[in-house]
A = this chain, B = another copy of it.
Amino acid sequence: MTWNVYLSGEIHTDWREQIIKGCEAKDLNIVFTSAVTDHDSSDAAGDGLGAESNNFWRDHKSAKVNAIRIQKLIKQCDMAVIRFGDQYKQWNAAFDAGYCAALDKPYITLHSEEIVHPLKEVDASAKAWATSPDQIVEILDYLLNQK
């Protein structure tokens, strides 16, 4: 049985690659999906629909185009991993967590101990909190293969 895992959040480190490679090394039967993670492409997602002079509307158009993909992938996933780095606002990651919670999609958070307190509401609805991609790989291996 294939698992479908959505990877949400921070795009400045290679945590996605670490998880994907770790799971490939264990030959886990998982389809990983993500929002567009190329920052410039993502910000420009709506530009082809016409230029905007106002930044709010440029962002608005791009974010809505991206939402088509994000919401489809979350609705079709079995679970999500939601990563918070120590920098930046990352409100989109917390938004995805709330979206998962309301749809009863299980998610695991991935973040350092430093930000435990501001993430307490996000963690309270999570099924687990991990601090390293390796822990995520270990849990996925358990979930798929343990008898």
Contact = CB atoms under 8 A, between A and B. Distances in A.
A75 B28 CA distance: 21
Interface string A96-113: 111111111010100001
> Interface size class for chain A?
35 or more
Contact of A147 (B37, B46, B89): B37
A60 to B, nearest CB: 6
Contact of A72 (B37, B92, B106): B106
B59 A146 contact: no
Interface in A83-141: 84, 88-104, 106, 108, 113, 115-125, 127-131, 135, 138-139
Interface of A: 1, 3, 31, 33, 36-38, 41, 45-46, 48-50, 53-57, 59-72, 78-79, 84, 88-104, 106, 108, 113, 115-125, 127-131, 135, 138-139, 142-143, 146-147
